[in-house]
Amino acid sequence: MQHPASTQPPQAKPPRERLWTAPFLACGLVNGLQGMAHFVMLTILPLVIIESFRKGDLEAGLAMACFQVGAVCFRPLAGCTIDRMDKQNLLRLTSLALMADVLLFLLWPPLEGIYALRLVHGVIFAFGTTTAAAAAALLIPPSRKGEGFGYFAVTINLAMIIGPLAGLTVYGAFGANAVFLFLGAICAIALLASLWPRLPAEARVPRAQGPFRLAPSSFFERRSLAPSVFGGLVFFAYGAILTFVTLYARSLGLEQGVRIFFLLFAAVIVASRPLVGRLFDTRGPGFVVWPGFLLFGLGLLALGASGLPGIAGPGGVQVLPGLALSRESCFLASTLPLGLGFGALTPAFQTIAVTSAPRERAGVATATFSWLLDINVGLAAFALGLAATQAGYPRLYMGLAGFVGLEALAYGCWLWRRRA
């Protein structure tokens, strides 16, 4: 006789927790628009300083350095401030302040004024993007953290691609004033997104905390430090792509391929995010991080190989016996493993970093992660620039593939010690 329990229908799976809420979308929009304003300025302001002020690369570089100083110095302060203030009010304040900052460029201040505005922009960027990321971290359901952080990171990835393209288009057609007005409009949209919808109390209002102490723990989250270091090292290697790939392409005679390179790179990242996020949530970080290291390293190898004369001869890059890719094909094909690897590693380490801390420390954990990213991108521009001068771009990228392999080894040792 059949047991009665066996005739009962199987229990339905519980519905997935909702990720795409209006507050989550608003945080992503503010983050992306503030990021877009940064990347437009990063691309256009050096041209303005050189062409309109008749200055050189040094003055243009100083303007960029002022921004970096503001962001790096104030990112830790942003973290502890965010955890003690209303996050929605901070989003509104930073969007309004950024709009005022970019519109002040319409007054065409002297070069010293431009440096001051760039320093303030760095401070605003540190507070604004850290606030948006911390609020989003509290809005993402626990069962969908990997997926949520992955999608949130897309906002900056898109800003990195759309910002420079839009800025160059507006600047080429209408000039610098039109760019500053365009940036003001972007910031106005960010301000509107921060005004509505209202964030829920658990993401907006800080939890009760003890009195503020001037100690390292007030500015940095110890539990988030290791994954933040690993994420920062990924960005160190990525800094070589962000900073030097245009010059590398020019040295290979592939200037026309740079725009396609970045478009393909962004497309791969965006297209892979749903799968990467779900793998992280359902199978764990290992199913994302280890393939990410492998793919990112292979992408750097392919990028370097496209310029080595011993490998890329007249017939191109030898892939298999009798099969060769042209330099341009190899250069563009590297975007597939690069995008998959970078698109897997960065949100994975951000998720690990932020979820390692208590919810009431989301701001400090986010600031710790972002601060190490800022530091490593800045170091990459300097250190890898020296390396490229000595070894050349092809060997630089191939050497960074080995660097990624060493980072993977260090990550494995950290996991082993953590589980011991």
How many structural domains comprise the chain? 2
- The pLDDT of 140-154, averaged and rounded, is 92
pLDDT value at residue 49: 92
**Model pLDDT for residues 158-177, shown as the tens digit of each residue:** 898 888 889 988 999 999 99
**Model pLDDT for residues 287-315, shown as the tens digit of each residue:** 999 999 999 999 999 999 998 775 555 55
Distance (Å, whole) CA 163 – CA 171: 12
| Judgement on whether residues 51 and 177 belong to the same structural domain of the protein | yes
| Judgement on whether residues 165 and 294 belong to the same structural domain of the protein | no
Within 8 A by CB and 6+ apart from 306, the residues are: 252, 312, 317, 327, 328, 330, 331, 334, 394
Distance (Å, whole) CA 287 – CA 273: 14
Q: Note whether residue 182 is domain-resident.
A: yes
What DSSP designation does 310 have?
Answer: T
Name the residue range of residue 165's domain.
20-205
| Judgement on whether residues 109 and 175 belong to the same structural domain of the protein | yes
| Judgement on whether residues 201 and 241 belong to the same structural domain of the protein | no
Asked whether the beta carbons of 184 and 61 are under 8 A apart, the reply is: no
| Judgement on whether residues 256 and 397 belong to the same structural domain of the protein | yes
| Judgement on whether residues 193 and 266 belong to the same structural domain of the protein | no
CATH classification at residue 35: 1.20.1250.20
| Judgement on whether residues 225 and 195 belong to the same structural domain of the protein | no
**Model pLDDT for residues 87-142, shown as the tens digit of each residue:** 999 999 999 999 999 999 999 999 999 999 999 999 999 999 999 999 999 999 99
| Judgement on whether residues 197 and 329 belong to the same structural domain of the protein | no
Q: Note whether residue 13 is domain-resident.
A: no
Task: Report pTM.
Answer: 0.83
pLDDT value at residue 10: 54
